[in-house]
Structure 1
Amino acid sequence: MYERVIYWSKEDKCWVVVVPELAGCQADGETAQEALHNSDRIIQEWIDTAKMLGREIPEPVGRYAFA
């Protein structure tokens, strides 16, 4: 599973989820739960697009990969 960082954006007035391992991959939502749910779809779209373009897809490392 890819690591996700979630935070409240005062500027955008919504919750934002950033996926650091996938450049430019982020999602948002009105609630933290909605933003996390949306990030599932966005991660899959990011991977599908990378495959279509022939780009390398990083393996999920995640924060606790070596725990």
Structure 2
Amino acid sequence: MSDYHVNIFYSQEDQGYIADIPDLESCSAFGETPESALREALIAKKLWIESAKIQGKPIPSPMYRPAIYQVA
């Protein structure tokens, strides 16, 4: 089973970590640590998918792969 890729990076501007899910438009979260950002992003992912279902919007399949993992 494939799941959505999560990017986690430190934001100097926000003084904390941002976790985003590229396949789900505008789905991101903040945390003071990478672990807390990931926890919050997983909650955001669940709510994003639930909201899309309620609104009858399509839910994209997990497709994003960072360049480091792409096979030529």
On whether the aligned pair clears a TM of 0.5, the verdict is yes
Q: Which residue number in structure 1 is paired with residue 11 of structure 2? A: 9
RMSD over equivalenced CA pairs, Å? 1.6
Matched, 1:19 2:21: yes
User: Match of 1:29, as an amino acid?
Assistant: G
Alpha-carbon distance in structure 2 between the residues aligned to 1:39 and 1:48: 14
Structure 1 unaligned blocks of 5 or more: none
Give the alignment's TM-score, normalised by structure 1: 0.89
- Counterparts in 2 of 1:51-66, with a 5 A limit? 51-63=53-65
Mark the structure with the bigger radius of gyration: 2
Alpha-carbon distance in structure 2 between the residues aligned to 1:57 and 1:30: 29
Q: Which residue number in structure 1 is paired with residue 47 of structure 2? A: 45
Give the alignment's TM-score, normalised by structure 2: 0.83
User: Match of 1:51, as an amino acid?
Assistant: K
User: Match of 1:52, as an amino acid?
Assistant: I
- 1:65 to partner: Cα distance: 8.6
SS of the residue corresponding to residue 36 of structure 2 reads helix
Count of residue pairs the alignment pairs up? 66
User: Match of 2:9, as an amino acid?
Assistant: Y
Q: Which residue number in structure 2 is paired with residue 28 of structure 1? A: 30
- 1:59 to partner: Cα distance: 1.1
